[in-house]
């Protein structure tokens, strides 16, 4: 299969984007420590050839740069945002096949998740092994429409998992199943094709099967296969699929887990029983380190370009956006036409539940570089004029500074409250000359950069 995980790993290696680690490392913290090292040092993807007690290699930091996400889409980094938004509109329905690589081995008795999958324990106080890159698939109990999302999963014992279902559509499916007093069948696919993975975290309209978006991304139908023990279809080219069901009305302590915000988070979450595991004959495990550059790339790219389109409908002066920390920090670059523009953009963006800090800059600031943003804030802001503070707005549950946290029946993500800040770091239109950025002459720059590039 052309676009599956292992084919992508081969492509990364061929283009020098992958490093191999041949030392035997433990799944208990050691591989997480090594991923942290590689991500910070070279920023490349990393393949661990030998995990202690397993015969399964582990790949990590897969989509840790925009260039690698662009490689998955087969486009240049510059064309990435346009391509992905355009392809998301051109949905292609999946097809169901009868035989699949992921069912080369089927285990339906004596289930022991951590004997089969090298699930990593990441951070020091984590409650145990967590699957952080597996896609959970379920069907709407009323309409039968499929849904999927990336949800953290704690392996609690041999056949039991805790699952953090804080976002739709799966949180809604569980609410509906519980209203009917029924379990919610699920399939948990690990090691899916990179574009299927991207589709799982795409902000899809309600009722849309994200496998159609994955098909749009891949520009061909995604092949699905029926699970052996539940009425769900999973990607035929996945490396592993866990099949089971979420127990209705049960919530158990899940965590602590070192979250995307950089803090431990514990919550009473749904519990699922796993009834069967299928996998490839020589499977590959896909790991994703929470609170890493890879998460920033993923959230900035998926959330950023989607939110930009929405914002531009109301406020066309917004040119670009950069998003960090699961969406909590939003930096917007605008073409300012009036001195009220900054405040308008701040007002609009702070109404988004993710955004907690919004900074608006002019077009001469590289918003992907936080040093540049700090420069603009320090030198362009009058703090008694350009700052907006808003109290008691919906915030991210996994941010420890938010308060409240009462559970709603659908486990909605927006149940905590927080205060937010907006900073207008744009130049006043009447004083543009005073804020002219220093530079060497353009003509000289172009000439010298060409010389320097050839060195």
Ligand X SMILES: Cc1cc2nc3c(=O)[nH]c(=O)nc-3n(C[C@H](O)[C@H](O)[C@H](O)COP(=O)(O)O)c2cc1C
Site mask for ligand X (CB under 6 A), range 282-321, x = bound:
-------------x--xx----------------------
Within 10 A of 309 (CB to CB), how many other CB atoms are there? 12
What residues are annotated to the active site? 259
Written as one string, the DSSP assignment of 26-72 is -TBTHHHHHHHHHHHHT--EEEES-BTT-S--EEESTT-SHHHHHHH
Q: Which is nearer to ligand X, 269 or 426 (CB)?
A: 269
Integer CA distances (angstroms), 280 to 10, 60, 132, in order: 17, 19, 20
Give ∠ CA 242-247-253 in degrees, rounded to 5: 95
Q: Rounded to the nearest whole angstrom, what is the least distance from the CB of residue 218 to ligand X in the complex?
A: 18
Q: Name residues whose C-beta falls within 8 Å of residue 452's C-beta, 6 or more positions apart in sequence.
A: none
Q: Which is nearer to ligand X, 183 or 327 (CB)?
A: 327
Q: Which is nearer to ligand X, 32 or 276 (CB)?
A: 32
Q: Which is nearer to ligand X, 80 or 166 (CB)?
A: 166
**What are the backbone dihedrals phi and psi of residue 84, each rounded to the nearest 5 degrees, phi first?**
-70, -35
Residue 168 lies near ligand X (rule: CB under 6 A):
yes
Beta strands in 91-239 (DSSP E): 95-97, 105-107, 130-131, 135-139, 146-150, 153-157, 160-163, 184-190, 223-226, 233-235
Q: Rounded to the nearest whole angstrom, what is the least distance from the CB of residue 136 to ligand X in the complex?
A: 8
Q: Rounded to the nearest whole angstrom, what is the least distance from the CB of residue 207 to ligand X in the complex?
A: 11
Q: Which is nearer to ligand X, 61 or 167 (CB)?
A: 167
Cβ atoms of residues 279 and 102 within 8 Å = yes
Residue at shortest CB range from ligand X: 167
Q: Rounded to the nearest whole angstrom, what is the least distance from the CB of residue 302 to ligand X in the complex?
A: 7
Cβ atoms of residues 183 and 247 within 8 Å = yes
Q: Which of 45, 204, 274, 358 binds ligand X (CB under 6 A)?
A: 204
Site mask for ligand X (CB under 6 A), range 138-167, x = bound:
-----------xxxx-----------xxxx
222-261 residues in contact with ligand X (CB under 6 A) are 260
Q: Rounded to the nearest whole angstrom, what is the least distance from the CB of residue 203 to ligand X in the complex?
A: 4
Interface residue list for ligand X (CB under 6 A): 149-152, 164-169, 201, 203-204, 260, 295, 298-299
């Amino acid at each position: 299969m052309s676009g599956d995980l292992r084919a992508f790993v081969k492509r990364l290696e061929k283009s020098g984007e992958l490093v191999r680690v041949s030392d035997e490392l433990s799944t208990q913290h050691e591989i997480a420590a090594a991923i942290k090292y590689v991500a910070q040092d070279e920023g490349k993807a990393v393949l661990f050839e030998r995990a202690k007690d397993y015969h399964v290699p582990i790949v990590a930091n897969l989509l840790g740069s925009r260039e690698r996400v662009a490689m998955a889409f087969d486009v240049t980094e510059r064309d990435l945002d346009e391509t992905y938004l355009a392809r998301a509109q051109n949905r292609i329905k999946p097809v169901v096949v009868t035989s699949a690589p992921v069912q080369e081995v089927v285990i339906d008795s004596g289930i022991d998740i951590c004997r089969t999958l090298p699930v990593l324990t990441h951070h020091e106080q984590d409650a145990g092994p967590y699957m952080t890159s597996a896609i959970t698939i379920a069907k709407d109990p009323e309409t039968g429409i499929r849904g999927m999302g990336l949800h953290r999963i704690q392996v609690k014992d041999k056949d039991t998992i805790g699952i953090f279902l804080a976002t739709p559509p799966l949180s809604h499916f569980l609410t509906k199943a519980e209203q009917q007093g029924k379990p919610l069948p699920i399939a948990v696919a690990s090691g899916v094709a990179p574009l299927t993975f991207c589709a799982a975290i795409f902000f899809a309209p309600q009722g849309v099967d994200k496998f159609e978006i994955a098909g749009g991304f891949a520009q061909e139908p995604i092949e699905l296969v029926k699970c052996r023990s539940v009425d769900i279809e999973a990607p035929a080219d996945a490396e592993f699929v866990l099949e089971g069901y979420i127990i209705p009305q049960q919530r158990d302590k899940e965590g602590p887990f070192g979250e995307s915000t950089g803090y431990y988070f514990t919550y009473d979450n749904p519990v699922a029983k796993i009834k069967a595991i299928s996998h490839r004959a020589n499977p590959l495990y896909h790991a994703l380190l929470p609170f890493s550059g890879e998460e920033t790339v993923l959230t900035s790219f998926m959330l950023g370009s989607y939110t930009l389109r929405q914002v531009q409908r109301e406020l066309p002066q917004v040119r670009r956006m950069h998003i960090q920390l699961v969406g909590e920090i939003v930096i917007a670059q605008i073409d300012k036409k009036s001195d009220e523009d900054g405040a308008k953009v701040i007002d609009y963006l702070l109404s988004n539940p993710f955004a907690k800090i919004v900074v608006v800059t002019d077009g001469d600031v590289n918003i992907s570089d936080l040093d540049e943003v700090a420069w603009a804030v320090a030198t362009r802001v009058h703090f008694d004029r350009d700052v907006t503070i808003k109290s008691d707005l919906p915030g991210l549950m996994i941010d420890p500074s938010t308060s409240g946290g009462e559970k709603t029946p659908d486990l909605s993500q927006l149940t905590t409250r927080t205060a937010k800040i907006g900073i207008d770091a744009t130049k006043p239109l009447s004083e543009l000359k005073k804020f002219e950025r220093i530079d060497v002459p353009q003509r000289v720059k172009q000439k010298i950069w060409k010389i320097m590039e050839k060195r």
